[in-house]
Structure 1
Amino acid sequence: MLRSLTIRDMLLIDRLELSFGPGLNVLTGETGAGKSILLDCLGFVLGWRGRADLVRQGAGQGEVTAVFDLPADHPARAVLADAGIGIEDDELILRRVNGGDGRKTGFVNDRRVSGEVLRQLSAALVELHGQHDDRGLLNPRGHRALLDAFGALDPGETRKGWAARREAARRLEAAETALTAARGEEDFLRHAVKELEDLSPDTGEEAALDTRRRAMQAAERIRGDVARALQMLGPEGAEGAMLDAGRWLEGAADRAEGGLDEPIAALSRALIELGEAHRGVEVTLAALEFDPGALEAAEERLFALRGLARKHGVLPDDLAGLAEDLRGRLGRIDAGEAAIADLRAAAAAADAAYAAAAAALTEARRGAAARLDIAVAAELAPLKMERAVFETRLLPAESGPEGGDAVSFTVATNPGAPAGPLDRIASGGELSRFLLALKVCLARGNDALVLIFDEIDRGVGGATADAVGRRLRRLAEGAQVLVVTHSPQVAAQGAHHFRVAKSVADGMTTSTVAPLNEAQRVDEIARMLSGDRVTEAAAEAARALLSG
C-alpha cells in the first residue's frame, strides 16, 4: 500500500505531503488544477520515463518521496534482494531527486540505486491504467501473463520442457560438430594409432633404455683394458712369475740359513691377494660381456621413441598416454553414429515432452480464456455495454519457455461489427469501461499492487458513471486504488477524497492537494455536479450520492 507521498519543488507544487489510506482514494479538481502532476511526480519517484522539465521554476532541485507498506510476502522484496538491499521492517522508502541540471538520483531506504532498480520495484508496486496507457492492459505483450494469472496457470512444466529440449538440442549439435571435426582427422588418427601401437611405448622406458645404452657403451670402452689386466694377472703374467720365484726361493731356502723364510711367507701371502684380484677382475670382465646387437637394438629403440615424441610434441614418457587418447578419439569416431542416433532419439523425446506440455498449457489457456470472456461480459452489462463482445484470442506463436501461444484481448462494440484490439476499436468512453471491466476480473484477490486509474471514467456519466464508481469501489476491496476523476458518481464511492486546486500568488502559480472531510466532500461533489455556483439542489444531490 502507498502510505504517503511527499513532493518538494516539482512542477507547480511547492511543498506537499499526502497520506493515503486503504481502499478507494479519489482525487478531484477542476481541469488544469494539476491532478496529472501528482501522477507525474509519483511516476518520477518510481523511475518512469517521462517529461524532463520537472523542477519547479526558480528552485535549485526537486524531490519526491514515496513510502510503501511492504508485507513479508510482497513481490517487491525479491527485487530488493536481487539489488542487495535489505529491509528491516515493512516500510519501503523511495526517494528521487531531480537536479536543476536535469540529473536524477534515486534512493531506496537511503541507499543510492539506479533508475532501472526503481522501475523494477515499480512493476511490483504500482499499476497504472488510463486511456493511453501502453504498459498495462493495452499492451498485447502482457496479455498472455494476465490470462495465466487469471486462470492460475503455471507454465512451470512447459519451462522445464523447453529447457530440456534446448539442452538435448545443444548436446546433439555438439556431438555432430565433434564428429564432423573428428572425421576430418580420421586418416591421421588411424596412422598415428598404428604407429604408436607398432612401437608400443611404455612409461619410463626411455630412461631405462638410456641407462642401459650408456652402460653398454662404457663396457665397450673399458673391456679391452680389463681383459689385458686379467691376462697380466694370470698364469702368463704376474701369477706365473710369482710362482716361478717361489719355486726358486724354496729350492735355495735350505742353503740360506733361514734368511728366505720371511720372503717366502710374504710371497705366499701376495699370491693369495693376487688370486683375489684375479678373481675380481675376472668377474668384472664377465659382467662387461654384451651382445653388440643388443646395443644397436637399444639405440634404435631409443631413437625411435624420441623421434616419435618429437613428432607429436610430447615427452617420451607421455607416448603411452597419447596412444590411449588417440585410440579414444578414434573410438568416438567409430562409435559416433551410434551415439548421435541416441542423442537424436533423446532430442526427439524432449521435443515430444515439450510439445505435450505446451499443448496442455494451450488447452488450459483456452479454458481460462472462455472463463475470462464470460466474466468480462458479466462486468460489461452494468456498464451499459451489454451489446459489446469481449474475446480472448489464442493464436499460434513462436515456441518458447511459456509455450507457443500469442494471447490478445479483442472487442467488438456492436453486434456484427468486426472485432479488433482494445485501443483500436473502442472509443474513449468505451475503452475506459472495457479496461475497468477487464481489470475487475483480472485483479480479484491481488492486493500486492497499488492500482491507479487516470480519468478512466472519461466520456461516461449518469448511471454508467455510477456503475463505474461501484466497480472501482469493489475493486478497492482487494487492493488499494487511486482514481483521478471528473465524475461525481465515481468520487462519491471513495473511502478517501482529495481535492486538487490551483492558485496564483505574487505571480507564481502553485497546485495544492488537500484531504476532504465529510462536509467538504459534499461541497466538492456539488461543485462537480453544478459547476462554480453550488446550489442547494446540487448539495442535496451530492449528499444523496454520498449516502447511496
Structure 2
Amino acid sequence: MLQRLAIRDVVLIEKLDLAFAPGLSVFTGETGAGKSILLDSLSLALGARADSALVRHGAAQASVIAEFDPPAGHPARLLAAEQDIEVGGDPLLLRRVVTADGRSRAYVNDQPVSVGLLRRIGDELVEIHGQFESHGLLDATTHRPVLDAFAGSETGLTRTRAAWREWRAAAALRAEAEAMLKRARAEEDELRHAFDELAGLAPRLGEEAELAESRAMMQHGEKLIEAMNTASAALTRSGEVEASLRSAQRALERVAERAGGRLDGVIAALERAAIEAAEANALLERASAEIDVDPRHLERVEERLFALRAAARKHGTEVDGLARLKDELGRRLAALDGGGDDLARLAKAEQAARAAYMEAARSLSARRSEAAGRLDSAVATELGPLKLDRARFATRVEALDETAWGPDGLDRVEFLVATNPGTPPAPLGKVASGGELSRFMLALKVVLAGTSPIPTMVFDEVDSGIGGAVAAAVGERLDRLGGQVQVLVVTHSPQVAARGSSHYRVAKGDAGGKVLTSVAVLGEAERREEIARMLAGETVTDQARAAAQSLLGV
C-alpha cells in the first residue's frame, strides 16, 4: 500500500508530506483547492507523462516521492529485482523529478531508471480511476487475467501453459525433422553418388602410408637389389664367412683345455658371430626376394595412391578421413531411407501434444464461460444501487483463431457494457460517461476485490452527478472495498466522505504573498465540521452539523 507521499514544488504545492493508512481515505475541499494536484503528483511518481507546467512558478524543479511497502514476492518487487535494484524487505521508493525546462528523471530506491520501468512498477502498485482517465480494466488485455483470477483458474492455467510448451516443443521437433528430410532429399542424388564412389574405392585407414612406402621401395628397387647383391657376395666371398668362423672356433676348441680358460671368451664370440652371420645372410636373401621391381606393380600402386588422394581433395578431407566419410554418408542415406518413419513418429507425437493442449484449454474455456456468467450476475447486483440499473454488464468470452492460440488458452475475454436498454454492449471506455465509468469500475472492483495484486486504488470524483441514496451506496461500496485494499477517494459527496477511515481536507490560501495548496488531516470534530460544510454549503448550520453527525454515526 501507499505509505507516504512527499511533494515538492508541484503547481500550488510548495512542500507537502502525507502519511497514509490502510482502508478508505477520503479527500475533500472546495472546487479548485488543488485536489487534482495531489492526483497529478501521485501519477507523476507512478510514471505518468511529465510536463514543465507541473513545476511551481519560480522553482527550479518539482519532485515527488511515493513510498510503498508491497509484500515479498509482489510483482512490483520482482520487476525491480529483475533490473538489479536492491529492494529486499525495504519499502519501494518511487521518485520523479521534473525540471522547469520539462526534463524528467526517474528513480526507484534512489537508483536511476527509465520512465518506462517506473510506469511498469507503478502499474503494479496503484490503479487510478477518474472521470478522464482509467488504468487497468479499460485495457482489454487485462480482462482475461482478471476473469481467470475471479474464476480461480490457477490450476487450469498452469496445466494449459505446460501443455502449450509441450505442444510447441513437439511441433518444433517435427518441423526441424521435416526440414532436414527435405534438405536431405534435395541432396539425395549427390549423396548416393558420393557414397557409391567411396564404396567402390573402399578406402582403408592407414592405406596411404602403406602405399607410399611400397611406392618408394619399388621406385628404388634396382639400387636396393644391387646393394643387397654386393652384401651377399661379401658374405660368401672366399668361402662362406660362417664356415670360416666355425673352422676357427673348432681349432681353438681343440686346445682350449691347455689355455686355462683364456680362449673361452674367444670361442663364445666366434659362436655368436657365426650365428649372426648365418642370420644376416638369411635375412638378406629374404629381403632380396621381397623387393618388387615389376613396373606393372608399381603402376598399380601409384594408380591406387593417386586415386585415394584425388578423392580426398574432392571431398575436402585427408586420405585417412575417406573411410569415415563413407561411413557417415552411409548413415545419412540410411536415415534418409527411414526418414519418413521418423517424421511420421514425430508428427504423431505433435498431434498427441496438440490434443493434450486442446483438452486443457477447452477445460479452461469452460471454466471461464461459467465464471463469466457469475461475474455478470454479481456486477448486475451492484449496478442498481449505483444508479446504473438501466445498464447491463457483459463478459464476452470468444474463441480465437488457431493462429492466435497461446499459453493462456483459446479465448479472448472482454468486458462490455450497454448503458441503455436495447443497445448492444460495447467496450467500457467507449460507451460510459466519466461518472458512469467510475461507478462501473467501482462495481467491478467490489466484485473482484481480493483477486488483484494491486494494493492501492484511487477514485477521482466517483460520485460525480449523484447524491442521496446513490451517493450513500457509492460510499458503502468504497468502504467495503477498503476492507480488501487501500482506497483513496477524491469526493464532493458528504455520504462518501463520512465513510472514510482517514479524512484529508485540501485547501488553498495565501502564504507570504503566495497562493499555496495545503492538506490537513482531520480529527473527529474537524471531520464533522467539514462534512457539515459539504452538506450546507457556504454557511454551516446546526442542522448541517447534526446531519453530519448522523452520517458519521457518532
Residue in 2 that maps onto 1:364: 367
Runs of at least 5 residues in structure 2 that lack an aligned partner in the other structure: 244-268
| In structure 1, C-alpha distance between the alignment counterparts of 2:455 and 2:84, rounded to whole Å | 22
Residue in 2 that maps onto 1:249: none
**Residues 1:432 and 2:438 are matched in the alignment:** yes
Q: Which amino acid aligns with 2:424?
A: P
Residue in 2 that maps onto 1:255: none
Q: How does 1:191-230 map to 2 (within 5 A)?
A: 191-230=193-232
**For 1:277-300, what per-residue CA distance to the aligned partner results, in whole angstroms no more than 9, with x for missing partners?**
687356324313333355444333
Residue in 2 that maps onto 1:333: 336
Q: Is the 8 A contact 2:391 2:418 kept in 1?
A: yes
CA 275–41 in structure 1, closer or farther in 2 if over 3 Å, else same: closer
**Residues 1:320 and 2:323 are matched in the alignment:** yes
Q: Which amino acid aligns with 1:157?
A: R
Q: Which amino acid aligns with 2:552?
A: L
Q: How does 1:99-114 map to 2 (within 5 A)?
A: 99-114=99-114
Q: How does 1:270-281 map to 2 (within 5 A)?
A: 280-281=280-281
| In structure 2, C-alpha distance between the alignment counterparts of 1:351 and 1:529, rounded to whole Å | 64
Residue in 2 that maps onto 1:410: 416
Residue in 1 that maps onto 2:523: 517
| In structure 1, C-alpha distance between the alignment counterparts of 2:234 and 2:359, rounded to whole Å | 100
Q: Is the 8 A contact 1:380 1:434 kept in 2?
A: yes
Q: Is the 8 A contact 1:158 1:358 kept in 2?
A: yes
CA 274–490 in structure 1, closer or farther in 2 if over 3 Å, else same: closer
What's the TM-score, normalizing by structure 2? 0.87
CA 184–220 in structure 1, closer or farther in 2 if over 3 Å, else same: farther
Q: Is the 8 A contact 2:129 2:438 kept in 1?
A: no
Moved more, 49-58 or 336-345: 49-58
**Residues 1:344 and 2:347 are matched in the alignment:** yes
| In structure 2, C-alpha distance between the alignment counterparts of 1:371 and 1:227, rounded to whole Å | 112
Q: Is the 8 A contact 2:81 2:87 kept in 1?
A: no
**Percent identity of equivalent pairs:** 50
Q: Which amino acid aligns with 2:508?
A: K
CA 400–379 in structure 1, closer or farther in 2 if over 3 Å, else same: same
CA 328–276 in structure 1, closer or farther in 2 if over 3 Å, else same: closer
Residue in 1 that maps onto 2:25: 25
Give the CA deviation at 1:207.
Answer: 2.2
Moved more, 518-527 or 307-316: 518-527
**Residues 1:288 and 2:291 are matched in the alignment:** no
> 2:505 is matched with which residue: 499, 505, 519?
499
Moved more, 286-295 or 405-414: 286-295
Residue in 1 that maps onto 2:77: 77
Moved more, 224-233 or 371-380: 224-233
| In structure 1, C-alpha distance between the alignment counterparts of 2:385 and 2:67, rounded to whole Å | 36
User: SS state of the match for residue 394, structure 1?
Assistant: strand
| In structure 2, C-alpha distance between the alignment counterparts of 1:528 and 1:448, rounded to whole Å | 31
| In structure 2, C-alpha distance between the alignment counterparts of 1:513 and 1:220, rounded to whole Å | 118
Q: Is the 8 A contact 2:435 2:461 kept in 1?
A: no
**Residues 1:308 and 2:311 are matched in the alignment:** yes
Q: Which amino acid aligns with 1:133?
A: E
Residue in 2 that maps onto 1:44: 44
Moved more, 142-151 or 396-405: 396-405
Moved more, 152-161 or 127-136: 127-136
Give the CA deviation at 1:214.
Answer: 2.6
Q: Which amino acid aligns with 1:119?
A: R
> 1:165 is matched with which residue: 154, 164, 167?
167
Give the CA deviation at 1:364.
Answer: 0.3
Residue in 2 that maps onto 1:16: 16
**For 1:241-282, what per-residue CA distance to the aligned partner results, in whole angstroms no more than 9, with x for missing partners?**
9x9xxxxxxxxxxxxxxxxxxxxxxxxx99x98997687356
> 1:508 is matched with which residue: 514, 528, 535?
514
Give the CA deviation at 1:482.
Answer: 0.5
**For 1:139-195, what per-residue CA distance to the aligned partner results, in whole angstroms no more than 9, with x for missing partners?**
222111111111111212222222222222222222222112111211111011111
Residue in 2 that maps onto 1:463: 469
| In structure 1, C-alpha distance between the alignment counterparts of 2:182 and 2:486, rounded to whole Å | 62
Give the CA deviation at 1:232.
Answer: 6.1
What's the TM-score, normalizing by structure 1? 0.88
Q: Which amino acid aligns with 2:501?
A: A
Q: Is the 8 A contact 2:50 2:102 kept in 1?
A: no
**Residues 1:129 and 2:129 are matched in the alignment:** yes
User: SS state of the match for residue 15, structure 1?
Assistant: strand
CA 43–517 in structure 1, closer or farther in 2 if over 3 Å, else same: same
Q: Which amino acid aligns with 1:221?
A: K
| In structure 1, C-alpha distance between the alignment counterparts of 2:349 and 2:273, rounded to whole Å | 86
User: SS state of the match for residue 153, structure 2?
Assistant: coil
Residue in 1 that maps onto 2:379: 376
> 1:395 is matched with which residue: 388, 398, 401?
398
| In structure 2, C-alpha distance between the alignment counterparts of 1:185 and 1:127, rounded to whole Å | 60
Q: Is the 8 A contact 1:446 1:479 kept in 2?
A: no
Residue in 2 that maps onto 1:97: 97
Give the CA deviation at 1:418.
Answer: 2.8
User: SS state of the match for residue 493, structure 1?
Assistant: coil
Give the CA deviation at 1:518.
Answer: 1.7
Give the CA deviation at 1:372.
Answer: 0.6
Q: Which amino acid aligns with 1:497?
A: H
| In structure 1, C-alpha distance between the alignment counterparts of 2:520 and 2:32, rounded to whole Å | 16
Q: Is the 8 A contact 1:445 1:478 kept in 2?
A: no
| In structure 2, C-alpha distance between the alignment counterparts of 1:229 and 1:69, rounded to whole Å | 104
**Residues 1:422 and 2:428 are matched in the alignment:** yes
| In structure 1, C-alpha distance between the alignment counterparts of 2:43 and 2:434, rounded to whole Å | 23
Residue in 2 that maps onto 1:190: 192
**Residues 1:181 and 2:183 are matched in the alignment:** yes
Q: How does 1:526-541 map to 2 (within 5 A)?
A: 526-541=532-547
Q: Is the 8 A contact 1:83 1:117 kept in 2?
A: no
Runs of at least 5 residues in structure 1 that lack an aligned partner in the other structure: 244-268
Q: Which amino acid aligns with 1:83?
A: Q
| In structure 2, C-alpha distance between the alignment counterparts of 1:195 and 1:499, rounded to whole Å | 95
| In structure 1, C-alpha distance between the alignment counterparts of 2:457 and 2:6, rounded to whole Å | 19
How many residues get paired?
Answer: 521
Give the CA deviation at 1:465.
Answer: 0.5
Residue in 1 that maps onto 2:152: 152
The alignment yields a C-alpha RMSD, in angstroms, of 2.8
CA 459–223 in structure 1, closer or farther in 2 if over 3 Å, else same: same
Q: Is the 8 A contact 2:132 2:434 kept in 1?
A: no
Q: Is the 8 A contact 2:70 2:455 kept in 1?
A: no
Q: Which amino acid aligns with 1:541?
A: A
**For 1:277-325, what per-residue CA distance to the aligned partner results, in whole angstroms no more than 9, with x for missing partners?**
6873563243133333554443333222211111101111211221122
CA 288–507 in structure 1, closer or farther in 2 if over 3 Å, else same: farther
Residue in 2 that maps onto 1:142: 142
| In structure 2, C-alpha distance between the alignment counterparts of 1:25 and 1:275, rounded to whole Å | 119
Q: Which amino acid aligns with 1:144?
A: R
Give the CA deviation at 1:56.
Answer: 1.6
Q: Which amino acid aligns with 2:189?
A: D
